């Protein structure tokens, strides 16, 4: 992809409450607003803009689950909105001391299914995990499922009141994200500010993709990225583990294709389990019918050759039944290794379709196309049929298929299956189509824009390492190609975005240099996926905040 280059329901609407009694009052601070110091004493007033509930357009708040309010006091300034990455989308300010962890305080859960989230945040903040409890103690952090139908499972409400914290959500994912907000508040400023946070992501897919085929990474390094992604509220990790250079995961059906330096299935399970605990889905990619050099090296009889008998690099001969069989064997095998709901089929840069006359250059493909689709069948039809067949294979495992945009071809009699999501990365391919064409056809699209979101090792061709500042200031999920946004009417079809690291020149950076290089781009990307509006903080302040949060 870089060689040339390369579930959720809407948030439930809940009533805001705006109280004014006995000198205590609340203001809604919307969309990450509220700069300056957190409430810890003194006479500061909130910085930034504040809006009442009737004026706010940010996600509405849930009824308070944090207990009764303390007695009104003028000794505390109005609280400031939490400072987190990504920024919370709504904070209802209040007067009070806020909450900070202390030795002996508890994390309790209202549902046993939240034990993993409870144990994790307890360990991170130095608290004790007390399990499922109904009693109330000073200093408690309580995790709860809010119940009801139709709520966004990634939304949450966090109430800091009466010396306690309550995080509630429709599902455990939302509760987990609430604990990430609490962790950042404490690590960044020591105190979680008084008041109520209501938060939910704008986009359901927030991902990071790693090319481990061309550059291997250690298990520990990948696990560190999983922890980092979880704290930033990412929910997807893509693993591109098969390419021309290597096949990087143990295979039992075809051990002959596996590279010497690879991950065992036990190591992959370790990574998958950690990702699952952070509510991150791993999306595997076995790219085909191009980028199969590692498979072809063990099966040279399957390599595509042109009319002169010259082999075509990385391309498998899709006119042969054996080609489909070996790829389906791998898809079936690895469906048991990666239990998530998505699968990336690749589909890009099939070299048979980059020549002037594919039928003349590859007569065996043209003949197979005519046999399958009639006299008018083309090589592009055959490639589209290949993509549809591989989609059917992963669909049998209840996976939603995904393919690169240059795997979708114009003017074919065979159409790609409607449920194949478009991973839009470039507009540089032969016969390139603008992203609006895919959207106008009703397709769902995920943003991999190579102008902003491609970190290609060694910066080959025209690639340069993306900067967090450029993403933060210029990119949004609607900017799918180049720097221009598609019309707003397509916003709902854009499921989210993925920041990708490609290993074209694997020795250009060490894995530690990669981690450092992607640190701020990852933070900028998730900020714009969580809330694509203009950020409240300047880039300088955002970068400083990232430094404080670690």
Catalytic residues: 349
Question: For residue 312, what are its two tokens?
Answer: 């075509």
d(CA 367, CA 373): 10
CB contact set of 18 (below 8 Å; sequence gap of 6+): 26, 27, 28, 52, 53, 54, 92
**Nearest CA-CA partner of 161 in 61, 86, 87, 88:** 61
Q: What token pair was written down for 51?
A: 């809006």
Cα 2 from Cα 23, distance rounded (Å):
60
Separation of alpha carbons 158 and 161, rounded Å: 10
Cα(240)–Cα(421) distance, rounded to whole angstroms?
Answer: 17
Is 412 within 8 Å of 369 (Cβ atoms)?
no
Whole-angstrom distance, CA of residue 59 vs CA of residue 199: 6
- The whole-angstrom separation of Cα 357 and Cα 353 is 8
Rounded Cα distance between 54 and 534, Å, is 22
Give the contacts of 417 (CB within 8 A, at least 6 positions apart): 387, 388, 391, 392, 401
Residue with token string 């959500």 = 169
**Cα separation of 307 and 303, whole Å?**
13
């Amino acid at each position: 992809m870089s060689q040339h280059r390369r579930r959720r329901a809407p948030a439930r609407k809940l009533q805001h409450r705006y109280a004014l009694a006995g000198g205590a009052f609340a203001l809604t601070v919307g969309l990450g607003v509220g700069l300056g110091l957190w409430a810890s004493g003194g006479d500061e007033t909130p910085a930034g803009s504040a809006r009442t509930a009737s004026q706010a357009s940010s996600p509405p708040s849930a009824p308070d689950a944090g207990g009764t309010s303390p007695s009104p006091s003028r000794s505390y300034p109005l609280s400031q909105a939490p400072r987190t990455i990504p920024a919370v989308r709504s904070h209802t300010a209040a007067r009070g001391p806020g909450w900070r962890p202390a030795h002996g305080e508890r994390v309790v859960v209202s549902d046993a299914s939240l034990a993993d989230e409870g144990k994790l945040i307890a360990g991170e903040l130095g608290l004790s995990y007390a399990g499922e409890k109904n009693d109330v103690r000073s200093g408690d952090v309580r995790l709860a499922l809010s119940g009801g139908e139709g709520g966004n499972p990634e939304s949450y409400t966090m109430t800091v009141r009466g010396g306690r914290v309550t995080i509630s959500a429709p599902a455990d994912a939302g509760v987990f994200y609430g604990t990430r907000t609490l962790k950042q508040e404490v690590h960044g400023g020591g105190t979680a500010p008084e008041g109520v946070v209501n938060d939910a992501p704008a986009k359901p897919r927030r991902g990071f993709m790693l090319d481990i085929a061309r550059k291997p990474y250690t298990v520990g390094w990948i696990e560190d990225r999983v922890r980092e992604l979880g704290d930033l509220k990412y929910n997807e990790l893509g693993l591109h583990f098969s390419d021309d250079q290597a096949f990087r995961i143990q295979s039992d059906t075809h051990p002959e294709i596996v590279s010497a330096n690879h991950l065992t299935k036990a190591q992959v399970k370790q990574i998958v389990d950690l990702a699952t605990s952070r509510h991150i889905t791993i999306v595997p990619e076995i790219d085909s019918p191009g980028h199969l050099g590692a498979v072809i090296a063990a099966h040279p009889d399957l390599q595509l050759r042109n009319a002169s008998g010259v082999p075509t690099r990385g391309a498998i001969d899709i006119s042969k039944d054996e080609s489909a069989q070996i790829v389906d064997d791998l898809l079936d095998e690895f469906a048991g290794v990666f239990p998530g709901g998505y699968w990336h089929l690749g589909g890009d840069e099939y070299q048979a379709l980059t020549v002037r006359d594919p039928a003349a250059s590859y007569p065996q493909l043209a003949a197979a196309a005519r046999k399958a689709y009639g006299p008018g069948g083309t090589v592009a039809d055959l490639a589209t049929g290949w993509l549809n067949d591989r989609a059917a294979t992963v669909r049998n495992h209840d996976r939603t298929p995904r393919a690169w945009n240059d795997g979708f071809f114009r003017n074919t009699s065979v159409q790609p299956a409607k449920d194949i999501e478009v991973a839009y990365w470039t507009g540089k391919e032969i016969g390139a189509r603008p992203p609006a064409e895919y959207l106008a056809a009703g397709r769902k699209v995920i943003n991999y824009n190579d102008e902003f979101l491609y970190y290609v090792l060694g910066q080959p061709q025209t690639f340069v390492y993306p900067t967090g500042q450029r993403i933060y200031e210029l990119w949004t999920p609607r900017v799918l190609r180049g720097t221009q946004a598609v019309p707003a009417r397509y916003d709902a079809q854009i499921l989210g975005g993925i920041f990708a690291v490609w290993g074209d020149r694997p020795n250009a950076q060490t894995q530690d240099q990669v981690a450092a290089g992607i640190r701020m781009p990852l933070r900028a990307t998730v900020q714009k996926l969580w809330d694509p509006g203009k950020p409240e903080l300047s880039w300088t302040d955002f970068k400083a905040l990232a430094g404080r949060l670690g």
